[in-house]
Amino acid sequence: MQENPITRPIAELSADLRLGKLTSVDLLENALDRIAMLDRKLESFVCLAEDARVQAAAADREIGQGRWRGPLHGVPVAVKDNYLTADMPSRAGTDAPGVHFARQDSAVVAKLREAGAIIVGKTRMHEFAWGNVTPPSKNPWDLNRVPGGSSGGSGAVVAARIVPVAMGSDTGGSIRIPAALCGTVGLKPTFGRVSRAGIVPHSWSLDHAGPLSYTVADSVYALNAISGHDPKDPGSARTDVPDFTAALGQPITDLRVGICRNHMFDNNQPDVDAAIEAAIRFYRDAGAQLVEFELPILAFGLGAIFAIELSSSTAYHSRNLASGAVTGFTNDVRTLIEMGRLITGPDYLKAEQLRRVLIDDLARVFADVDVIIGPTCPLTAWPIGEWTVRVGAQDESVLAASWRLTYPWNLAGLPAISLPCGFDSNGLPIGLQLAGRPFDEMTLIRAADAYERGHGWKDMHPKL
Amino acid sequence: MNELEMLVEALGIELENERRSAVLAAFQPVAQEIAKLRSLDLTDVHPAVVFSVMPANEQD
């Protein structure tokens, strides 16, 4: 067996599994060895599946009998702790007594199992997906820094090359922020593309499910497996699901790349701005057309997402408020849930009006562009315990800064991807964000894959 | 008593004094952003909220 096969992308693993050059059991043992060796430092798994070896042996039998299910068959993947699972407890990041979740597979976990993936364990998240840090998980590039969040455990285990795909959820950036801070790919599909049934809700109209992965292609294999209409999710869309792998390896000479010069470039760390400008030049040099524009409505976006997210979360937790269970929550999450009661009905509806304007304004922009490019985060991973950092010309709350460039795509529900695009002067990863038209993940993937193929960032791993 | 404290009273939100101070302090930056939102005239914009007239179990 090759050394550390689990560190290779899915296309390679899948080919070897199918040809019998590698077994799922061996691949799983490699993942478990790396968990034993690395997760003492990373603290990113909260639970491992007791039946993982049984799952892997079953995959080997099926593949051996010629019943290959697809690229994920026999490949270990992890899921965030807010995805319900039948074979493992779910805690959604909370230790509070009196809060219980069903022991059944969420729709995404069921689809991953159907695709033959080995669900190896559950990853750490911030309590109820609030916030953009994931204590006590560490960033594999610097163990003194945060991995981001709220899917921070998923970001850390992918960056540490423990599993090629870990599922996350994204309400204001919770897939893309840890992807950017940990140097992985993170894909938030269009709202409605992937079912949230069986994922502990945070904010019903903002929550998205999606993968973090080694490569763009790895996210594509996961997206192919988990997409599709689900009547159990009221937000699920009735729309065709293409084979997203068709977008891989395609040219981008006809691509129109939009650059939103307000908001997205207002106040970023200089190394972040430099990396994104280099990425923009890559697209220009590859023949893409660059289109600059401004979106003034973004100046009002933060109030809108606050109003929707706070009121929704407080509504979801009304039972926990009434029972007093919130007293067992971490202090910051309890405060946010208690605070949501201060959002008025008109505030909430005005936020939904703002959302309508944003969606319509973006539709006009997308008449002239195919993707919108910018940074995922204005800053790189910050030291654990630090609450303000220098961003651009001013000191800023890390929590306020970190989701500034991601939440617009949750408000609009548009697909967005973060992928590595370089490192800052401290050797910390920088994330490039691309966003696309509703349900046009194909163009998004084509643009991201072309950038990834043109650079070597995906082959740079943290030394742990 | 400021506007937020009056809102807490009017809504009948039960919070111990210490919690009330913490929650109101944390809400200040949020309130500033929501004040910007309130300043927008969106009278003619239908909110991005839809519903189905069918019961939940008949929406497929």
In this structure, the dihedral spanned by the alpha carbons of residues A381, A385, A386 and A387, taken in order and rounded to 10 degrees, is 110
User: Is the model more confident about A391 or about A194?
Assistant: A194
Q: Flag if B33 and A303 touch (Cβ within 8 Å).
A: yes
Q: Beta partners for A139?
A: A142
- CA–CA separation, A55 and A410 (whole Å): 35
Q: Would you place residue B13 in the very low, low, confident or very high pLDDT band (cuts 50, 70, 90)?
A: confident
- CA–CA separation, A177 and A380 (whole Å): 10
Q: Would you place residue B9 in the very low, low, confident or very high pLDDT band (cuts 50, 70, 90)?
A: confident
In this structure, the dihedral spanned by the alpha carbons of residues A222, A453, A450 and A295, taken in order and rounded to 10 degrees, is 90
- CA–CA separation, A139 and A183 (whole Å): 10
A364: pLDDT strictly greater than 90: yes
| From A174, A203, A236, A418, active-site residue | A174
Q: Kindly state the tokens that stand for A179.
A: 């992807």
Within 13 Å, how many C-alpha atoms sit on residue A375's CB side? Answer: 31
Residue A219 designated active-site? no
Q: How confident is the model over A118-147, as a mean pLDDT?
A: 94
- Give the model confidence (pLDDT) of A395-443 as tens digits: 888 888 999 999 999 999 999 999 999 999 999 999 999 999 999 999 9
Residue-range domain boundaries for chain A: 7-459
Residue A174 designated active-site? yes
Q: What is the ipTM of this complex?
A: 0.93
Residue A106 designated active-site? no
Q: How confident is the model over A14-40, as a mean pLDDT?
A: 98
Share of chain A above pLDDT 70, in %: 100
Q: Flag if B47 and A352 touch (Cβ within 8 Å).
A: yes
Smallest Cα–Cα separation from A236: which of A226, A245, A246?
A226
Q: Quote the pLDDT of residue A1.
A: 59
Which pTM value belongs to this model? 0.97
- Give the model confidence (pLDDT) of A210-256 as tens digits: 999 999 999 999 999 999 999 999 999 999 999 999 999 999 999 99
Q: Which residue, among A308, A334, A338, A344, would best test binding to B if mutated, counting the most B CBs under 10 Å from its CB?
A: A338
A335 to chain B: nearest residue by CA?
B23
Share of chain A above pLDDT 90, in %: 95
Q: How far is A294 from chain B (nearest CA, A)?
A: 18
| From A14, A80, A188, A458, active-site residue | A80
- Give the model confidence (pLDDT) of A166-214 as tens digits: 999 999 999 999 999 999 999 999 999 999 999 999 999 999 999 999 9
Q: Kindly state the tokens that stand for A414.
A: 């548009």
Q: Beta partners for A435?
A: A372, A416
Q: Beta partners for A419?
A: A432
- CA–CA separation, A217 and A213 (whole Å): 9
H helix or E strand, kind and range, residue A211: strand A208-213
A347 in Cβ contact with B37 (< 8 Å): yes
Q: How far is B1 from chain A (nearest CA, A)?
A: 16
- CA–CA separation, A241 and A190 (whole Å): 12
Smallest Cα–Cα separation from A445: which of A163, A219, A115?
A219
DSSP, res A410: H
Q: In this structure, how many other beta carbons lie within 10 angstroms of the beta carbon of residue A54?
A: 13
H helix or E strand, kind and range, residue A10: helix A10-19
Q: Is A7-459 CATH 1.10.1740.10?
A: no
